[in-house]
Structure 1
Amino acid sequence: MPIAANVQLGERTRIPLPDLVNLYGCSIGDDTFIGPFVEIQAGATVGRLCKIQSHSFICEGVDIGHEVFVGHGVMFTNDLLPRATDESGRRITDNWVMSRTSVEFRASIGSRAVILPVRIGASSLIGAGSVVTKDVPPYAIVAGNPGRVIGDVRDKRDPR
């Protein structure tokens, strides 16, 4: 799995196993970490100081802000009505509608979450295994399938 020549890599971006990622046509900010077996498609952006853990998939139309954490095996989607063929049985290649996802500053997404095209607000926390089908407000804690707001991260601050 290659890092294509058309990838914009920020300064000090860390990819410990570059032969085990698939990056093409994307933009990745400074000081970001990309784990093994990650795919980031053309047109996706990842901000600075992010951590993208192993086995995650970031598709076209996903914009990840600065200081975002993406856990292991997170799956982003960009098609709300996926189909292989149209009504006449012809394979669909170019005639589909891409929907966008925005992950704002310092949001965290737990392992194996599935993210449909939504806006994930700043400093929010998505629980592991959640399926996010609706926009997430800033500072919200979201969990479940479908994901529901169950709290506010400001109420759970680490006392350290």
Structure 2
Amino acid sequence: MYIDTASTSDISALCDLASLLNEQEGDFFGQRTQQVRRLGNLLLAKDHALVLCIRDQDDIIAMLTLNSLNPGNDEPAIMLLNEIVVLPAYRGQGAGSTLLQGAINHARQAGWKQIVVRLTDISPLTEQLLSRFGFSQTAVQGMVLNLNSNQTAQSVA
């Protein structure tokens, strides 16, 4: 297994993963055509978005998406963590931690300012994972990780 940046050729597999969230959360991402459009837009907005995946040979078994809350602004990007999803057969093996660490490292290298998570969008298990990586709860935004380019993400896998 290895972490990789997703590409447009991965959209179908990414939509399949996103549909797992739809099953858990109700109408979380809407119809497949909306998912295809949303993921395609994220993949094309490389300066303002990030889609990471974990592959087991040719299969995508996990993904994480981020997009900028302030695209086009001269300030460092504030990124919204949209989703972390892992196929059920691969849960509990560190895939979520690997994706989150990869996203934090990428965000720091890109000079992004923060990663924000809305608490209404995540499960209690994901909230625990975020806390282990230094995300803290805020009254306004949910959970936030302030990025400092001089620090590196801590591994908890």
- Do Structure 1 and Structure 2 share a fold, with TM-score over 0.5? no
Larger radius of gyration: 1
Structure scoring higher RCO (CA < 8 A, sep ≥ 6) equals 2
The structure with more helix, counted as a fraction of residues: 2
TM-score (norm: length of structure 1) = 0.28
